[in-house]
A and B are shown apart, each in its own frame.
Chain A
Amino acid sequence: MERIPILKMGEFLLVTIQVDMHDRLALALQDDLTQRIVDTSARGVLIDISALDVVDSFIGRTLGNIAAMSRILDAETVVVGMRPAVAITLVELGLPLHGVRTALDVEKGMGLLRKAVAGRRPGDGYRAQ
C-alpha cells in the first residue's frame, strides 16, 4: 500500500502530500504521523498540501484531526500551500479548520513553526487553545 513519506528536519517533521488523498491514505497518514511524533519527539509538524486539488469532508476533517492530535503530542502543526479552490471548498463544507495554523508556503510555514516553538517554554506541554 502506498504511504505518504514523513521527513524529519531537525526537530520538525515535514509531510508533503503529492498524490490524491483518499480516505485510507489519510488514515494511514494519521497513524504514521502520530507514531513518528512520539518516536522522534518532534516539536513541530509541517503539512504541505500545495499539490492537493480535491478535498472532501472526510479529508478536511482528517486534516483537522491530525493537527489536533499533534498538538496533544506537544507538536505545533502548520498546514501550508492550500489552493484557493480547496480553501473555498472547506469553507463551504463548514470546515474552516479552527485551531489549525496555516501559511502560504513552506518557507513561511517554517518561520511560523520556529516562532511558535521558540515562544513556548520547554516542557510547557499541551495547552488548551
Chain B
Amino acid sequence: MSKLPDVLKRREAGILTEWLRELKQSAGLRGLPPNLEETCRAFLVQLAQASRNGNLTDIGKPEWNEMRHLLEELSVSRARQGDTPSETAGFVFSLKQPLFAAIRDEAKNIEEMAGETWMASRLLDSLGLYTTEVHQKGREDIIQRQQAEMMELSTPVVRLWEGILALPLIGTLDSERTQTVMESLLEKIVETGAAIAIIDITGVPTVDTLVAQHLLKTVAAARLMGADCIISGIRPQIAQTIVHLGVGLGDVITKASMADAFSLALKRSGYSLIRHQPENA
C-alpha cells in the first residue's frame, strides 16, 4: 500500500509552496499563467483523492476520471495561450522535486523512500504525458476538420448556361477527391440535364500521370451519362509536363482558357454571340 496519499495530505501546504516557487523560477518570458495557484491546488487535491483508491499505475481507470478531465482543461487552455506541449507537460513534471522531498522526509527507511519515489515518478510521468496526448489529439481534430472543410469547398459545380456546367478544380487531385468531384459533377449533370461540362484545371498545381488518369476517368464517366467534357485552364508549364511525361489525354477536347472553352460550348449548344455596339461607343 502506497503512502503517497498520506504524504500528500500531511504535507499539502508545503508541497504547494515549493511547487509554486519551482514554477515561478522556471517561468519563461510570458510569465506565469493566471490562477496558477488554484490550478496547482486543484491538481494536488485530485492527486490525493485519486491515489487514495490505491491504483497508482493505470490512469485510465475511472477513479482518475476527474484528474484526466482537469488535465484536459489545462492542456486546452494552455495551448490556447500559445504554450508548447512540453511546457504544459513541464507543469506536471515540476511537481516531482517538491513531492520527492516530501516523500524523503516522511519515509522511515531507504527502501520505502526508493519505492515511493519510483511510484510517484511513474505516476507523474504518465500524467504529464497525458497532457501531451490531449494536445496532440486537439491538433488532429483541427486538421481533420480543416480537411473536411477543404473537401467541401473545393468541389463546386457551377451552371454557366443552359446545358453548360463548369467545374473549377483547385488543389491536387487524389483518388478521394476525384471520387467526390466525379460524384458531384455527375449528380449535377442529372439535375440540370447539361450536355457539356467544362473542367477547369487552372487551380491544379501539377498534372502528373495519376492526375491525368483521374481527369480522364471523370471525363469518361460524364460521357457515359451523355455529357461531353472540355478540359480548360491548361497553363504552359502544364502543357509541357503533359507532353514530357507522355501522358495522353486521349481525344478529350482541351482549351487554354475557360473563355475559349465556354465559347466552344456555346457554339456546340447552338448559341452565337453578337456584340451590338462597338467597344468605345
Q: Which residues of A contact B (CB under 8 A)?
A: 79-80, 82-84, 86-88, 90-92, 96-97, 102-105, 108-109
Name 16 interchain pairs, CB-CB below 8 A, sorted by A.
A82-B226, A83-B190, A84-B187, A84-B189, A84-B221, A87-B221, A88-B182, A96-B221, A96-B224, A102-B223, A102-B225, A103-B226, A104-B189, A105-B226, A108-B193, A108-B195
Does the CB pair A104–B220 fall under 8 Å? no
- By a CB distance below 8 angstroms, the chain B residues around A96 are 220-221, 223-224
Known A-B contacts A84-B183, A84-B187; the reply to A90 vs B193 at CB < 8 A is no
Does the CB pair A88–B193 fall under 8 Å? no
Q: State the CA gap A108–B194 with chains docked (Å).
A: 11
B230 within 8 A of A: no
Most chain A CB inside 10 Å of its own CB: which residue of B189, B220, B224, B226 = B224
A-B interface contact total, Cβ < 8 Å: 56
Interface size range on B against A: 10 to 19
Interface majority SS (helix, strand, loop, mixed), chain B: helix
Most chain B CB inside 10 Å of its own CB: which residue of A79, A83, A84, A105 = A84
- By a CB distance below 8 angstroms, the chain A residues around B217 are 91-92
- By a CB distance below 8 angstroms, the chain A residues around B221 are 84, 87-88, 90-91, 96
Q: B157-208: which have CB < 8 Å to A?
A: 179, 182-183, 186-187, 189-190, 193-195
- By a CB distance below 8 angstroms, the chain B residues around A83 are 190
Known A-B contacts A104-B189, A104-B193, A108-B195; the reply to A88 vs B226 at CB < 8 A is no
Measured CB to CB, the closest approach of chain A to B243, in angstroms, equals 23
Known A-B contacts A96-B220, A104-B189, A104-B190; the reply to A87 vs B225 at CB < 8 A is yes
Measured CB to CB, the closest approach of chain B to A16, in angstroms, equals 16
Measured CB to CB, the closest approach of chain B to A97, in angstroms, equals 6
B222 within 8 A of A: yes
Most chain A CB inside 10 Å of its own CB: which residue of B183, B187, B217, B223 = B223
Does the CB pair A91–B224 fall under 8 Å? yes
